[in-house]
Structure 1
Amino acid sequence: MTDSYLLSLLIFSPLVGIIILAFVPKGQHQLLKGIGFSATFLPLILAFVAFTSFDQGGSGNQFVETREWINFSNSGLLAHGVNLSIPYELGLNGFGMVLVLLTAVVSTLAALASVIQIKAGWKAYFMLFLLLEIGMLGVFASQNLFLFFLFFELTLIPMYFLIGKWGFLDREKAANSFLIYNGLGSAVLLIAIVTLFVITNTTNIDQITMIMQMIGPEADNIKWGLLVALLVAFGVKLPIFPLHSWMLRVHVQAPPAIVMLHSGILLKIGAYGLIRLGVGFFPEQVTQMAAVLGVLGVINLLYGAYLALIQSDLKMVLAYSSISHMGIVLIGVAALNDVGLQGAIFQVVSHGLISALLFFLIGMYYERTKTSMIANLSGLGRSMPIASGFLLVGAMASLGLPGMSGFISEFLAFLGLFREMPIIAAVGTLGIILTAVYLLRAVLNVTFGPTPKKWEELKDIRPIEMIPVLVLLAFIVLIGVYPSVLAEPLQASLQFILAGIGG
């Protein structure tokens, strides 16, 4: 038992908004939007409290909560006196702390984007939105696999309805594709979790890490099977080629505010699971398949970059860009050294901020023009010069301009891989060149060229729309010019992972 309730309050604080919204009539549109947006401030405040209280020099998990929860020990229900005890366990290491803060920030900004862009059904929308936030926060704070899986599954339900009801023309197909792919990934993950529990007789992540690293080579076949299962389960979420097609539909058909969460946070669950569980549980096997991960990363990077280059829809450009940038995460993981892993985690956070910014701007363009086709958006630099300037800045951050977070993450990931696999890393650098080409192509075509008469009277970015843009840019620049703000909380987590690898 512990006396800390901070993480429980943080994770379940959006329930306050859900309960209040349940009692507000559907016709009170402004009140519903105000409550839905305001409800994200409580987890945001608590996340900042946790971050400022986090001991960056400390090792292990912090804000730990351990309480009795599910216990069938000696109940007579299980034969042979098997101990089936699953406690309620929360805690944060540096990696989880950073992602919890990222989740809280992006959720608040996505809620503001929802107030601007969503036109109907606000009561159900914000109740589902806040339920999704609970799931995302819970995933990163869980310290046992059973709780991790519950929160992991909790994110699927609201996402399905948010896509299927408030998305665009083919929203139902996108929602079904999302559910099928992620449902299959969840099934594989559940099998892996049950197997781990049977082997270790615990669901505690740190205990499983120690036990699996102590088990000898006689269990290598089981370890390989479990690692492949985790790679598939989290590879769907990340996504890793060829498990990516569902993500393209979601990015195009879901509301832009929801894509901010999906691209900015939900994809990062895949990276978090792969690093925290895959590398943590099976460091020896991951070391042996490092070259495979490196090749998969380069394939993601080049495949996504090439297809982004030939897209005519701005949403599709950014969807393939996300696939490409997730390849950099795999590249950093494949390096299996302190620099590469740090680059992978930096890329997780950096892409979360940059993709949220770019999809917010696309949502703003779509709200005014009702199109995201690049050919139809030419000349917007004249009617919307400030918004076009921010779009260019976001593209510069995404392609890795020095002084922004994208540069730090890409530099560290590739530096780590060059130390271990220089040939694979050299091939991967072609993706960086293609990134600059497809982003500049899209931005220049949208910004310059002839301005159709119907776009001449478009309103530029409004003051309320400046808030998420400036906040996201502030974090992007802060990490770019002062990377220690992110590196210092991660040091203990990196050292723990490297100790398992033997580095």
Structure 2
Amino acid sequence: MGLLSYLLSIPLLGVVVIQFLSKTAVRSHRVLASIFTFIAFVFSLYLYFPFQASQGLQFKENISWFHFGSTDGFFYSLGIDGLSLPLLVLTTLVSFIASMASIYVKERTKTYFSLFLLLEFGMMGVFLASNLFLFFLFFEVTLVTMFFLIGIWGYSQKEKAAYHFLIYNGIGSAFLLIGIVGIYVIYGSVDYEVLKQAIAVSPSSGVIWTLLTFLLIAFAIKLPIFPFHRWMLLVHVEAPPSIVMIHAGILLKMGAYGILRFGVGMFPNYMEYISTVLAVLGLINLLYGAILAFAQQELKSVLAYSSISHMGIVLLGIAAVNQVGLQGAVFQSISHGLLSALFFFLVGALYQRTKSTQLEDFGGLAKSMPIFSGILMVASLGLLGLPGLSGFISEFFSLLGLFEKHPIYAAVGTLGLILAAVYTLRALMSVTFGGQQKAFKARDMDWKEWLPMFVLVLLIIGIGIYPELISNTLNGALNTIASGWRG
């Protein structure tokens, strides 16, 4: 076993340990899950610092798994590069924070935290896999575990949300599997590096376009891209906040990662050819999500449509087909991961005290919950893209890159940023200022809540002030991708 396998084994070990505990040991379940997710986070940081940005895939593991006939078969192959490493660290961090946010889960905690750790295992595997077959297996682990986490511990329409999630993402997985099988049949390999070289010298054909389309549909559902977004709205509203932290913070980013890794990374010339289509889809996401976010009267719905809008910025960065735009897309993925995790932790804390997330029920919480309101303000300013916070730098890079390729679309995209300020400030003002609409006995957050939130706040500020925290690791991988266009 190499370092990456040891990292993957940490949440699995946590699952095993929890099985030896009594079902009634609720506190022990929660503490153990937090310990194992924290160990995984520290381990990912241990990989981050010795990482060489100028090199390609690192910490590689490649073990023959199984074969059939005269073929080489499939390998258990892992590795990380400058694209996957920041997302891996984001995954372990958000998982750790979400485990602490699970203090609001009171029932069937042994099963809950077992599935929670299995979900982290699957998410880490998605970013660590270095072949398509292993990627698909980890991808499916996240699908199954999320289905149960939504369907058992969600709110009133939890079963509906869980089945919408399963059906939409199951269809996406079917497209992904067909694409992977087709690629293996044509090129005889599922290894990332082998496929990138083989596709680069392969002449354009209808078959290759079809396979790329299957992959893009799968990741369009995951991101999601309009009109594949309906399932995501239900999940944001009906899943427990700790699970939405992971869903919005990590799982949506798997769609962005898939487009970057397999679309841009393996089919760069094809993606450049459809860059205008991607720009249009990005604008639709950006504006559609922003306009509907403004019309919502429920806080979780505002954040759900906001996620659609911000994933549009990811698409715009990819549509730029240059290194600056790609950097913006990755920055936006990481920034939104931190911001959405922070927001839904706040939503969980608010619902626990008031049993409501309707905007009309609030007002004046800045007086009774000053710590909550202060953190909510930072999160809101990050979401609308205030300079000095992570949201600004990601939007700036995405639109700057797009201006080079599609200046008109970039100009239109700036309207989405204005709308983001409108719906975000409206929600912030409705919750924290004005007269209190209902007589809540709302005590402020204690240290178990605000301390992990403060960690997210520091990172949001840190990335906004010093983007080199991410870009130093990221640039080598993006330069390799961009070289495919230059070639």
TM bin, normalised by shorter chain, reads: over 0.9
Shift of 1:84: 4.5
Contact 1:380 1:448 in 2 (8 A): yes
Residue 50, structure 1, aligned to residue 47, structure 2 = yes
* SS at 1:53 equivalent: coil
1:326 maps to what in 2? 311
2:97 maps to what in 1? 109
1:406 maps to what in 2? 391
Shift of 1:65: 0.4
1:64 maps to what in 2? 60
- Decide which of 487, 493, 502 is 2:471's aligned counterpart: 487
Q: What is the TM-score with the length of structure 1 in the denominator? A: 0.95
What pairs up with 1:263-282 in 2 under 5 angstroms?
263-282=248-267
Post-superposition Cα deviations, 1:103-146, rounded to whole Å, max 9, x if no partner, equal 000000000000x2111111000000000000000000100000
2:85 maps to what in 1? 97
* SS at 2:455 equivalent: helix
1:380 maps to what in 2? 365
* SS at 2:49 equivalent: helix
Shift of 1:452: 4.1
Range 247-256 or range 463-472, more displaced:
463-472
Alpha-carbon distance in structure 2 between the residues aligned to 1:453 and 1:273: 45
- Decide which of 255, 260, 283 is 2:245's aligned counterpart: 260
Contact 2:362 2:438 in 1 (8 A): no
Alpha-carbon distance in structure 1 between the residues aligned to 2:238 and 2:9: 29
Contact 1:343 1:411 in 2 (8 A): yes
Alpha-carbon distance in structure 2 between the residues aligned to 1:109 and 1:276: 27
Post-superposition Cα deviations, 1:193-245, rounded to whole Å, max 9, x if no partner, equal 0000001101101111110111013xx21121112111110000000000000
Alpha-carbon distance in structure 1 between the residues aligned to 2:272 and 2:203: 16
Runs of 4+ in structure 1 displaced over 6 angstroms? Answer: none
2:176 maps to what in 1? 189
Shift of 1:374: 0.2
* SS at 1:155 equivalent: helix
* SS at 2:227 equivalent: coil
Alpha-carbon distance in structure 2 between the residues aligned to 1:501 and 1:149: 27
Contact 1:329 1:344 in 2 (8 A): yes
- Decide which of 344, 347, 369 is 2:329's aligned counterpart: 344
Shift of 1:33: 1.7
Contact 1:14 1:42 in 2 (8 A): no
1:79 maps to what in 2? none
Shift of 1:180: 0.2
Alpha-carbon distance in structure 2 between the residues aligned to 1:423 and 1:313: 34
Q: What is the TM-score with the length of structure 2 in the denominator? A: 0.99
Post-superposition Cα deviations, 1:391-416, rounded to whole Å, max 9, x if no partner, equal 11100001111111100000000000
Alpha-carbon distance in structure 1 between the residues aligned to 2:29 and 2:409: 52
Contact 1:174 1:249 in 2 (8 A): yes
Alpha-carbon distance in structure 1 between the residues aligned to 2:262 and 2:60: 19
1:80 maps to what in 2? none
Alpha-carbon distance in structure 1 between the residues aligned to 2:473 and 2:223: 23
Contact 1:223 1:285 in 2 (8 A): no
Alpha-carbon distance in structure 2 between the residues aligned to 1:415 and 1:35: 44
Shift of 1:92: 0.2
Alpha-carbon distance in structure 1 between the residues aligned to 2:176 and 2:362: 42
Residue 302, structure 1, aligned to residue 287, structure 2 = yes
Contact 2:327 2:471 in 1 (8 A): yes
* SS at 1:119 equivalent: coil
Residue 40, structure 1, aligned to residue 37, structure 2 = yes
Segments of structure 2 that go 5 or more residues without pairing to the other structure are none
Alpha-carbon distance in structure 2 between the residues aligned to 1:233 and 1:16: 31
Shift of 1:30: 1.6
Post-superposition Cα deviations, 1:233-286, rounded to whole Å, max 9, x if no partner, equal 000000000000000000000000000000000000000000110112211111
Alpha-carbon distance in structure 2 between the residues aligned to 1:33 and 1:446: 30
What pairs up with 1:82-481 in 2 under 5 angstroms?
83-114=71-102, 116-217=103-204, 220-452=205-437, 454-455=439-440, 457-481=441-465
Alpha-carbon distance in structure 2 between the residues aligned to 1:5 and 1:329: 33
Contact 1:308 1:318 in 2 (8 A): yes
Shift of 1:454: 2.1
Segments of structure 1 that go 5 or more residues without pairing to the other structure are 75-82
Contact 2:82 2:477 in 1 (8 A): yes
- Decide which of 13, 18, 31 is 1:16's aligned counterpart: 13
Shift of 1:428: 1.0
Shift of 1:42: 2.0
* SS at 1:94 equivalent: coil
* SS at 1:40 equivalent: helix
Contact 1:160 1:178 in 2 (8 A): yes
Q: Which amino acid aligns with 1:231?
A: L
RMSD in angstroms over aligned alpha carbons? Answer: 1.0
Contact 1:247 1:319 in 2 (8 A): yes
Alpha-carbon distance in structure 2 between the residues aligned to 1:198 and 1:502: 29
Q: Which amino acid aligns with 1:32?
A: H
* SS at 1:65 equivalent: strand
* SS at 2:155 equivalent: coil
